[in-house]
Amino acid sequence: MNSSSDSSKQCVASPFRWYGFNKLGDFRGALTSIESEIDTPFPIKRVYYLYYTLPQIRRGFHAHKTLQQILVCITGQCKVLLDDGNVREDIQLSEPNLGLYVDTMVWHEMYDFSPDCVLLVLASDHYQESDYIRNYADFMSAVKGMKQE
Ligand code: TYD
């Protein structure tokens, strides 16, 4: 497992963005709709979701070269570690109408899933293993390379 253990990078001003989605509620309950390119900064090409995640499980441990994603915890709660190579931040997700944007080249790990957690992910592209950076040292080298360009 490629764990990222450097805790020296702490957030001062967060570079990580939220997307607020509508909450159309009435006496029957709530409804949130997310429309591709209207409510998202990219066309949604793929939707997947994590659920039934066991306690103590930490997953993710990668960054993407080109993929953008928005994470929405539609039921329950979980935490996400985001690390862009400069700023590292642990973020709680628990609101079904709030999406956390995960840009390209952001290392992410998901953890502390409640038993009922359903983590919905909106993605800008189809699944491509070649888009993954799954080693933290490789990720940091790529970030440093980008800075020197
Ligand atoms: P994995 O990358 O291990 O998930 P996580 O990053 O959350 O730990 O994905 C688990 C498996 O599912 C792996 O075999 C790849 C596959 N997969 C798809 O086929 N399509 C997808 O959209 C995703 C996200 C994963």
**Spacing, Cα 66 to ligand 1 middle (Å):** 16
* Beta carbons within 10 angstroms of residue 134's beta carbon: 13
For 13, the token pair is 């001003």
Q: How many independent structural domains does the chain possess?
A: 1
Q: What percent of the chain has pLDDT over 90?
A: 86
Q: Answer whether 119's CB lies under 8 Å from 48's CB.
A: no
6 occurs within a structural domain: no
Give the C-alpha distances (Å, rounded to integers) separating 122 from 4, 5, 14, 85.
24, 27, 21, 23
Using DSSP, how many helices (H) and how many strands (E) does the chain show? 1, 10
**Spacing, Cα 129 to ligand 1 middle (Å):** 9
φ, ψ of residue 70 to 5 degrees: the values are: -125, 130
76 lines ligand 1 (CB under 6 A): no
Position in ligand 1 atom list of the atom nearest CA 110? 7
9 occurs within a structural domain: no
Q: What is the mean pLDDT of the chain?
A: 93
13 occurs within a structural domain: no
43 occurs within a structural domain: yes
pLDDT exceeds cutoff 50 at 6: no
Nearest of 51, 58, 53 to residue 75 by alpha carbon: 51
79 lines ligand 1 (CB under 6 A): no
The whole-number pLDDT of residue 138 equals 98
The residue range of the domain holding 67 is: 18-148
Position in ligand 1 atom list of the atom nearest CA 132? 2
The whole-number pLDDT of residue 149 equals 76
133 occurs within a structural domain: yes
* Pairwise pLDDT comparison (32 vs 8), residue with the higher score: 32
64 is catalytic: no
1 occurs within a structural domain: no
Ligand 1 atom 9, closest CA: 60
3 occurs within a structural domain: no
Q: What percent of the chain has pLDDT over 70?
A: 92
The pTM score is 0.91
CATH number for the domain that contains residue 119: 2.60.120.10
127 lines ligand 1 (CB under 6 A): yes
**Spacing, Cα 54 to ligand 1 middle (Å):** 16
59 lines ligand 1 (CB under 6 A): yes
2 occurs within a structural domain: no
User: What confidence tier does 88 reach under pLDDT thresholds 50, 70, 90?
Assistant: very high
